[in-house]
Amino acid sequence: MRIILVREAGELLAAAPLMVRRGTLLRCPVRRLEFAGSGWGYGGFILSKKKRECLRSVFAAVKEMETWDVMYLGNTLGDPEIDPKELAGLLPENHSVHESVRVRIPYIPLHLTWEKYLAERSSSFRRNVKNRGRRLADLGGVRFLRVTKLEESRIPPSKVAQWLRTVAERSWKAKAGTAISSDSRVFSFYTDLAVRLNTMGSLDLSFLFLDERPAAYIFGAVYRNDYFEIDIAFDMELSKLSPGILLRNYLLKELFQKQNGKYDLVAYFDYKRELTSCVQDFYIHTFYRRRLYPSVLRWLRREIRSKMGRLLADYSDPSLGVTSHGDHGA
């Protein structure tokens, strides 16, 4: 962890929740300075007062760190008072080279009705919605359950955790080692997160059951009328029936009736194109130290991006294959 705090006369003005990890860039080992929790959702600097001065202080501390080769700030949440381009000049050019890439994260506007949402989708999408639900129902009783208050649901938290674990262990993510149940510490984080979100009034968990068997879940949260899809998983034995998609449809029907913000899909994957045509812009900021190894990696990345695009896409570097919208420095 590399948590940078900015104080003035004892008052906390800003925080930069960062971490250093040994990751990869173009499948080469590299020490990456990132937002804590990088790889899921959004990251950002927590700024309250004197925002520009605080950012300069944060980057002055980053400059003094010797433990990173590349600083990768993915899906950075913007601040209405600060232009994203301002980040480029916060590390001097003789220290680091900055690149900025715009990414587009899909979302579904929740002011729609279910009928209007379906009308905007393709005919194959509407057909699949109808067929998947019917085919799953042929196997048993299909039940949708949404948990937003653990106390009101009268379901023990241990039971909710059991449903999450059961689905996660039967999902394709389990085979890949990326399910929330694949690491006991990760699973503890998610169960603790559920308790914290419940206390905040932001918890939103959805489950799809086939008879009494949990077939899919969506781990979500609601904040200021926006719904955030944090994690989704489904039983691979039922994959041909798309229980995850069916569960999201059940959830959307309810959200269209009660929310007026957006359903934030949090990350981009190709299959999400059929879910919505609405996108929101975020920026990935990458700083390469002016040292031999990071400079070589940067040159290779630029060459591959320009000549091969997504052919050699590195999933630890989601900006690869995306057109760059800024390149500062030589």
Residue-wise pLDDT tens digits, 147-189: 999 999 889 999 999 999 999 999 999 998 999 999 999 999 9
Residues 116 and 74 in one domain: no
CA–CA separation, 31 and 34 (whole Å): 10
Residues 47 and 120 in one domain: no
Residues 191 and 223 in one domain: yes
The answer to whether position 157 is within a domain reads yes
The structural domain count of the chain equals: 2
Residues 243 and 130 in one domain: yes
Q: What is the pTM of this model?
A: 0.83
Structure confidence by residue, pLDDT tens digits, 4-61: 999 999 999 999 999 998 888 888 899 999 998 776 678 899 999 999 999 999 999 9
Residues 57 and 85 in one domain: yes
Residues 141 and 120 in one domain: yes
Residues 99 and 119 in one domain: no
Residues 82 and 212 in one domain: no
Structure confidence by residue, pLDDT tens digits, 247-302: 999 999 999 998 779 999 988 777 788 899 999 888 889 999 999 999 999 998 88
DSSP 3-state assignment of 305? Answer: helix
Kindly give the interhelix angle for 184-200 and 157-170, rounded to the nearest 10 degrees: 130
Helices (H), the chain: 51-64, 114-119, 123-137, 150-153, 157-170, 172-176, 184-200, 243-258, 292-308
Q: How far apart are the first and last CA of the chain?
A: 31
Q: Are the CB atoms for 46 and 17 separated by under 8 Å?
A: yes
The answer to whether position 274 is within a domain reads no
The domain in which residue 318 lies consists of 2-104+282-328
Q: Are the CB atoms for 173 and 179 separated by under 8 Å?
A: yes
Residues 158 and 250 in one domain: yes
CA nearest 190: which of 219, 215, 214, 167? 219
CA–CA separation, 75 and 38 (whole Å): 9
The answer to whether position 136 is within a domain reads yes
CA nearest 75: which of 305, 322, 285, 231? 285
Exposure pattern of 149-162 as b/e (b: 16+ CB <10 Å)? ebeebeeeeeebbe
Residues 143 and 194 in one domain: yes
The answer to whether position 147 is within a domain reads yes
CA–CA separation, 288 and 298 (whole Å): 7
Residues 122 and 247 in one domain: yes
